Amino acid sequence: MSPDAPSGAGYLARLTDLALASGLERFGAAPAEPLARARRIMHGRVAAGLVDGMRFTYNDIDRSTDPASQVPGARSVLVGARSYDVQPNDAPVDGPSARVARYAWLDHYAELKRSLTVVAGRLRSDGHRAVVFADDNSVVDREVAWLAGIGWYGKNANILLPGAGSFFVLGCIVTTADVPAAQPVDDGCGTCDRCIPACPTGAISAPGVIDAGRCLSWMLQKPGVFPREHRTALGDRIYGCDDCQTACPFTRRRAAAETTFPTESAVDVLSLLAADDAEVMRRCDRWWVHGRDATWVRRNLLIVLGNTADPSDPRVVAALADALAHPRAEVRAHAVWAAARLGHRELLPAADPDGMVRDELEHLPPLREHT
């Protein structure tokens, strides 16, 4: 850091003006100190069995809760929030469709990084070191946002911005600039707990505590067999779940913005099932998919098919038949469930060489009521 590099409250105000002009909606600062509270809570949740193998910032808790370890000489962590609350403008799907969580309708993280990079560029030109961290699990950005006073933790464990709710992506700049930190804002939820019963699987085990093993967003990303007891609750979701956010009064009061960029609020289930693996991953390039393996997308699509499709649609029958003959046992297993749920047991094989598929054949779901 240059000895004459700017610092202080006035400098933070200029950086904030630049951040807001660059597309961020909120911007704040926290000290580049270990996030001791978050570290304690995260280790406690691992010990309590609430993480269910989820990695992300849990992959190396001590590192993701120590921003200064990633930038030598760091004094501050600047955090920015960018809204992803936009109106959908994609064309309707002809046939079964699957819902995408709002934050993935567009590549909002790309725009967030662009805005943060503008601010980081100013910091560097002023003689500071500055590194942008966003969507890479390097820093527990929710904790930084809370410490920086731009929002409070809701009972759904999201950061709620005063007057704006939680439809925001967050990112940080770890920097050697010395700027004053804010104070956390007061909890604004009060007695409201609408998000807790809104969760379709009861994943909010206590205010602010998420049981990842019951969270649909994580189940959709986790590899392996999708838990049988939660498949019906998945409904038509294919990536993420917004229910605990859309139930929040603070989030619901905010009007969604129009966008000229094409959104993807839903995907065509049959078209995606018919695509080869490379095409599936190309079309889902914004999604976090374990190992970039299309198997897990197909698994989720088949559950949506079983929950929503018209069993009399010949395209659906053909898709089920194709999936039942798929080389991956994980795909065949979930195709068994979908076919039985749609009343097409005539498609099911008498046996299968894989134990996973045989287990599904031995535990067929009841027929879905179709109107």
Q: How far apart are CA 46 and CA 1, in angstroms?
A: 38
Name the nearest CA neighbour of 177 among 361, 356, 4: 4
Q: What is the DSSP string of 111-124?
A: HHHHHHHHHHHHHH
Q: Whole-angstrom Cα distance, residue 153 to residue 161?
A: 9
Catalytic choice (90, 135, 236, 277): 135
Contact 348, 340 (CB under 8 A): yes
| CA dist., res. 352 & res. 348, Å (int) | 10
> What are the φ and ψ backbone dihedral angles of 344, each rounded to 5 degrees?
-110, 55
What is residue 133's three-state secondary structure?
strand
Is-catalytic flag, 135? yes
Backbone phi and psi for residue 303, each to the nearest 5 degrees, phi listed first: -65, -45
Strands (E), the chain: 26-31, 76-83, 97-100, 130-133, 152-153, 159-160, 168-175, 204-206, 209-210, 237-239, 266-268
Q: Measured on CA atoms in the order 196, 202, 207, 211, is the torsion positive or negative?
A: negative
Phi-psi region of 291 (alpha: psi -120 to 50; beta: other; left: phi over 0): left
- Joined together, the tokens standing for residue 213 give 């093993």
Give the separation between CA 68 and CA 74, rounded to whole angstroms. 5
- Active site members: 135
